[in-house]
Structure 1
């Protein structure tokens, strides 16, 4: 059987990915703070399993407890293929270096970097032990590749997740593992994160006018369209280990 695990699944890109997995009859494990009630009916309609695990990804203990529980239950079923999508992320803090709040700094590192690394580490170990085929997609950003005024933490953590992905892929290739790990850059979408960006201040985020224009001129992609592109890529199976895939390459 095939299983998909999606973090931040209740809304935005995570919701788009989760819905497309259900459409493709992949058993879904959704992880987020709150549950998207639409998934239960969608899973029933598709005739697949659906499970929801509440988790606060900013909590190290929550991540450890929840994902150890998921991994133990999942790999005991001897799944044919597991698709793990580390989608959850936070843009905050949006502010100048020197004015960043300590708690916001630590939360950004935990959600954007530490949590996906911990989850990848656990699932790679379990896949190796059980011989399951594992595909991991870590959601990244174009901000990983250029400095953005006011986004020092977001740029830094996304750059770090890209390097983790490339390094883990190198290690998998060197030991001839069947598991694959990639990064996925979804571009600019019409999500809650974009609302947060547009509500910041000019001083904190110097490019705010550009991002407000994206919304005003209807230039934002839908999370469903972007999510479908990723699921199509994963199901194709012919992914290049360690590669950063960009949504515009897939649409």
Structure 2
């Protein structure tokens, strides 16, 4: 029987999400991209290799849009051919880079909505739609070292990523007692050469105490490429026998 691996990836227009998707474009893979903007480079690459890649425009701040997109995706998947179904919760925002008391209500709400609430909702629909499917099922939450280390100016970001790691642990325990469990992990990719890093370097020193350190990361060539990080992550997913509920840190894998 012809079998496929299905991948749902958020935040694919640039950065790590783009690099992950690029490396997933391979035989017997079907990819569902969720982001506000399409990446035509990815679409053209997939098309040139005959790999099904679908884009779903979605504002992760809007619950009803997330629900609608997941319904569309799971009506497309042929469960009888599914060798594996994967959700990669990659989309994230760093703003507001400013202390609590200076951040606006909307800035705080947007950060938590995108970094934590959206992955929670995406995961709950993933589990609902696949609960009766006996195949490999995995949820990969892209975390951050900030989940474990408080920084001045990053209170919102640190909190949302810490919450995401706890969500990973809690859901993994729930999945231990179901008939067709999903493996749920977090992966901290470390410092990468992305637009998010550029945003950090352009922040106000009065708002972010560690600004100079992040400027030095770039000057000293310490930022990993997104391609390298994506390769390490996907090697873990496919070859590393990921442990349910584990928070993986790239520093322990290189």
Please tell me the TM-score bracket, short chain as reference.
over 0.9
The separation in 1 between residues aligned to 2:167 and 2:136, in whole angstroms, is 20
After TM superposition, the structure 1 = structure 2 runs for residues 106-145 of structure 1, keeping only pairs within 5 Å, are 106-145=109-148
**TM-score between the two structures when normalised by the length of structure 2:** 0.94
How far apart, CA to CA, are the structure 1 residues paired with 2:252 and 2:33? 27
Distance 1:75 1:194 in 2: 39
C-alpha offsets along residues 132-162 of structure 1, whole Å, 9 cap, x if unaligned?
A: 4211100000000011110000000100000
Report the number of matched residues: 251
For the pair 1:63 / 2:66, whether they are aligned, the reply is yes
Structure 2 segments unaligned to the other structure (5+ residues): none
TM-score by length of 1: 0.95
Q: For 2:170, which of 144, 152, 167 is the aligned residue? A: 167
1:218 to 221, 224, 229: 221
Whether contact under 8 Å (1:25, 1:47) holds in the other structure is: no
Query: What CA distance in whole angstroms lies between the structure 2 residues aligned with 1:249 and 1:51?
Result: 33
The residue correspondences of 1:80-119 to structure 2 (distance < 5 A) are 80-119=83-122
Report how far residue 236 of structure 1 moved. Answer: 1.8
SS at 1:80 equivalent:
strand
Gaps of 5+ in 1: none
SS of the aligned residue for 1:210 comes to helix
Partner secondary structure for residue 200 of structure 2:
helix
Inter-CA distance 220–237: structure 2 relative to 1 (3 Å threshold):
closer
Residue 18 of structure 1, CA deviation: 0.5
Per-residue deviation, residues 75-108 of structure 1 (Å, max 9, x unmatched): 5565221111000000011111111101111111
Over the aligned positions, Cα root-mean-square deviation in angstroms equals: 1.6
